[in-house]
Amino acid sequence: MFSEARLRFGKQLNVIVGENGTGKSHILKAAYSGIAVSAARLKDGRSETQAKSRFSTAIGEKFEGVFRPDTLGRLVRRGRGRNKCEINYGFDRSALDFGLTISTLSKVTVGDVPSARVGKSPVFLPTRELLTIAPGFVSLYETTHLPFEETWRDTCILLQAPLARGPRESKIKLLLEPLEEAMGGKVDVDKAGRFYLSLDSGSMEIHLVAEGLRKLATVARLIATGSLLDKGYLFWDEPESNLNPRIVKAVASTIMQLAANGIQIFIASHSLFLLRELHILQQQKEYSGFDTRCFGLHLQSNYSVEVSQGKTMDEIGDIAALDEDLEQSDRYIATEMGLITELGEGRN
């Protein structure tokens, strides 16, 4: 898919746009997998050879769990003979840097093991909300063979974490207020780990709440536990999926607020409405200085994907999915104008 790509991410907001099948989710998952392993594991005093072996095993297991290929070698772009895929992770802090290679033989090797760890586990939000399945999902996932990506397990663990306490509570409250206003209530959890939306009229089981509100509730819960607070990473695959425009506006506002509070955001989308809403919000004073990067994925005639990148959507080339939305708007306006002209002529 990607013959070669060098992505330089922004410190606040990163937007990946492309047609279906161009690899938007693959980029999110690859970045997430590396950071998740770095956050969980350290060199911990072992010999260099042992450290590399342990880290290589951990990376391989994470990629298998997140991507769920038949074999790791399936992740390598196929061609004649043996091939390999190289992925390098670079951070502002060089002690966190590392690289890995996956071969078509499913062998994973790591170059230099990072000498420091990422301070906070990343968060991955798939297109589906997870609050309804979180109770009991982790234990079921770890004791049976389930055909779900490991990102679901990871996020469910974070959703079941206890609420954050102490000095952070005031910041949490400020972040939760607009979300709770949009949801019309607060997220609660009982002793069995089941989630509810607490309304003025009483509590409602979370699976009875509209999906759009459940997505907001998921973010609210992760903020309340401290998983999305201060520094950290959020990977969100198609935030707009199954949402109406009013909820998409709330999601866009939440994305900007989290970025403003130190979370590095990565989203994959082909929703013109969401992208426009993010652009509108960035014109506001509190967000105008954001370090933002946009990435356009373009499918070539040989089925490879080229990546264009820039600080704005205007710099990443034409995206067919977005062009279709714009073209439909033009056709709709033309149709309405034609109807108005026709009605006007009929009155004469």
pLDDT at 87 over 70: yes
pLDDT at 42: 57
pLDDT at 200: 87
Q: In which residue ranges of the chain is CATH 3.40.50 found?
A: 8-25+231-338
Question: What's the CA gap between 21 and 168, in Å, rounded?
Answer: 40
Return the bridge partners of 125, or none.
236
- 22 vs 318 pLDDT, higher one: 22
If one counts every other C-beta atom within 10 angstroms of the C-beta of residue 270, the result is 22
| Residues sharing a CB contact under 8 Å with residue 315, sequence separation 6 or more, in sequence order | 294, 308, 309
Report residue 260's pLDDT band, with 50, 70 and 90 as the boundaries.
Answer: very high
Residues 104-131 pLDDT 10s = 988 999 988 898 989 889 999 999 999 9
- Alpha carbons within 13 A on the beta-carbon side of 148: 20
Q: In what order do the strands lie in the sheet with 84-89?
A: 84-89, 98-103, 108-110
Question: What's the CA gap between 140 and 212, in Å, rounded?
Answer: 26
CA triple 186-190-196, angle to 5 deg: 35
Question: What's the CA gap between 10 and 44, in Å, rounded?
Answer: 31
Average pLDDT of the segment spanning 75-103: 87
pLDDT at 51: 83
pLDDT at 36 over 90: yes
pLDDT at 343: 61
Question: What's the CA gap between 249 and 235, in Å, rounded?
Answer: 18
CA triple 218-254-130, angle to 5 deg: 15
CA dihedral 8, 62, 150, 26 (to 10 degrees): 30
- Alpha carbons within 13 A on the beta-carbon side of 158: 27
pLDDT at 45: 56
Q: What are the phi and psi torsion angles at 255 (to 5°)?
A: -55, -45
Q: Helices (DSSP H) in 102-168: which residue ranges?
A: 137-143, 150-159
pLDDT at 9: 97
pLDDT at 315 over 70: yes
Residues 40-74 pLDDT 10s = 865 555 677 788 888 999 999 999 999 999 999 99
> Is 278 in contact with 267 (CB distance < 8 Å)?
no
Report residue 314's pLDDT band, with 50, 70 and 90 as the boundaries.
Answer: confident
DSSP E strand stretches across the chain: 13-18, 84-89, 98-103, 108-110, 123-125, 186-189, 195-199, 202-205, 232-237, 263-269, 292-299, 305-310
pLDDT at 20: 85
Average pLDDT of the segment spanning 156-172: 92
Placement of tokens 């069995």 in the chain = 192
Given CATH 3.40.50, say whether it is the number of domain 8-25+231-338.
Answer: yes
> Is 31 in contact with 278 (CB distance < 8 Å)?
no
Q: Tell me the pLDDT of the chain averaged across its residues.
A: 89
Q: Determine how β-strand 305-310 pairs with β-strand 84-89.
A: unpaired
Q: What is the pTM of this model?
A: 0.91
